[in-house]
Structure 1
Amino acid sequence: MRLLFSCLFLVSFFNAFSQDVKPEVKPVVKIDSLYREDQFYFSVTYNLLMNGPTGLKQDKFSAGLSAGFLRDMPINKTRTIAIAAGLGLSYQNFYQNLTISKGPTGDLIYGVNDSGQFVSNRYKQYSVDVPIEFRWRNSTYESYKFWRIYSGVKLSYIFSDKSILKDGESTYKISNNKDVNQFQYGVYVSAGYNTWNVYCYYGLNGLFDKSVKTISGESINVKAMNIGLIFYIL
């Protein structure tokens, strides 16, 4: 009898213990199917001057930096196609042999000189940018890593520019040159996977006014081209 009561007590104890164990409740993760790829961007480029006068050459490494924010606006149900617009800042630097100096009356003199005729020569500019682009990507609302091709136009306003020429005898510093086209526009494309993407921009109008000519009478219709990498950060 004692053995029987002991067995009944143990069975009752284990039943009571098993009833106190509650199943683990996993939190429900809500997935946003109406996601947008709003992004901060940062680019590093090598700058080229295209369509320049005869003899135009570049030396050293002409670098460019830009950063800003893009607002994403999907236009299809799967949100793989979108339009984006943004705002950013750019710094562009050019080392080349297109020299700008001042004459006795203060007029600007443009020339294309051999590198042996000056010690250093550079042109730099700062601008506010408004990129507007068409976007394709194979993204999903479950993954932030995807392939992309973004292409569009960039409108820029140059709010500061400066050229510095050292010819061994004098130093010419020209700030906010009146001959520089303050409003710039061009086309660009970026493509890649996840954060890393190649980038290329080509200016459609010249850096300088069409009326500007070198000493030899050639028009200075140089256009900017930037090639490098652009990084997108959510």
Structure 2
Amino acid sequence: MKNLYVLLCIIYFGIHNTSFAQSQVSVNDDALTVIDSLYKEDQFYFSATYNILSKLPSGVDQTGFSLGLHAGFIKDMPINKRRNIAIGVGLGYSYNSYNQNLGIIEGEDHTVNYVVLDDTYEFDYSKNNFYLHMVELPIEFRWRTSTPTDYRFWRIYTGFKLGYVFSHISNFKGEVAEVRYTDVDGFNDLQYGLTLSVGYNTWNFYVYYALNPIFKDDVTTLISQERIEMNAIKLGLIFYML
């Protein structure tokens, strides 16, 4: 009888300890599935665009592919309880190239002339473009279908972007010369425009429409004295990540 009593005690305590261990595991499993009710979305961005020049002067055309690369950080600040509506404010860098036939040439008196390179000039050239390097301040109103546990969602972000041009470079390479200018005085240092991002999950279409011209108000073409009011339109893809 004594041995039977000992055996029954061992079985009882064994079952009790097993149940306790299982309850501990289920508590730990529940802890692993805690939902972050204060989540944020889309803090970092990277985009690649095709840059289009609008409002071209007479005789000026784009040539080749004009590339834009943009990256930065946006502070996401939800403004409703569901956290699918937010304001975004950030800081970024933007590189933009423009291939066209508007030659930027410095005269003997160090004045800058803007020459339309059309058929009136009897020489060939292989390169004529300018580059803009900018620091940008994006401000966005954000709507999305995200939840704390859903990382694939629709988004529509509209906003305004202010940019400061800290470097501009003009390149010309042809039969008569090879010229490179830095910090040309005729560019507007401030560039600003409207933005729109629309998409689902990874793939998002991006549009930027500039509200002011690339060049200053007093910049004109050399012969016709036509004011150069070109502004930029950027079309491409933008990628977001946390």
TM-score between both structures, scaled by the size of structure 2: 0.88
Deviations 1:137-169 (A, max 9, x none): 011112222110001110000000000112312
Query: Which residue identity is paired with 1:142?
Result: T
Given that 2:91 and 2:137 are in contact with CA atoms closer than 8 Å, whether structure 1 keeps it comes out as yes
Within the candidate set 79, 85, 89, 1:85 is matched to 89
Within the candidate set 104, 110, 114, 1:106 is matched to 110
Tell me whether 1:48 sits opposite 2:55 in the alignment.
Answer: no
Given that 2:42 and 2:240 are in contact with CA atoms closer than 8 Å, whether structure 1 keeps it comes out as no
Given that 1:100 and 1:172 are in contact with CA atoms closer than 8 Å, whether structure 2 keeps it comes out as no
Given that 2:78 and 2:87 are in contact with CA atoms closer than 8 Å, whether structure 1 keeps it comes out as yes
Task: Compare 76-85 and 124-133 and name the one that shifted more.
Answer: 76-85
1:199 equivalent in structure 2: 206
CA–CA separation in structure 2 for the residues paired with 1:220 and 1:160: 20
Within the candidate set 211, 214, 227, 1:219 is matched to 227
CA–CA separation in structure 2 for the residues paired with 1:117 and 1:38: 47
Tell me whether 1:127 sits opposite 2:172 in the alignment.
Answer: no
CA–CA separation in structure 2 for the residues paired with 1:85 and 1:196: 21
Deviations 1:35-81 (A, max 9, x none): 22251100111111111101221122111111100011112221111
Deviations 1:170-205 (A, max 9, x none): 122221111100001000100111222110101110
1:144 equivalent in structure 2: 151
- Root-mean-square deviation (CA, aligned residues, Å) is 1.9
Shift of 1:10: 6.0
SS at match of 1:111: strand
Tell me whether 1:95 sits opposite 2:99 in the alignment.
Answer: yes
Tell me whether 1:18 sits opposite 2:26 in the alignment.
Answer: no
Count of aligned positions: 231
CA–CA separation in structure 2 for the residues paired with 1:165 and 1:90: 22
TM-score between both structures, scaled by the size of structure 1: 0.91
% same residue: 45
Task: Compare 184-193 and 7-16 and name the one that shifted more.
Answer: 7-16
2:61 equivalent in structure 1: 57
Deviations 1:11-55 (A, max 9, x none): 555444323313133421321212222511001111111111012
Structure 1 gap segments, 5+ residues each: none
Given that 1:206 and 1:224 are in contact with CA atoms closer than 8 Å, whether structure 2 keeps it comes out as yes
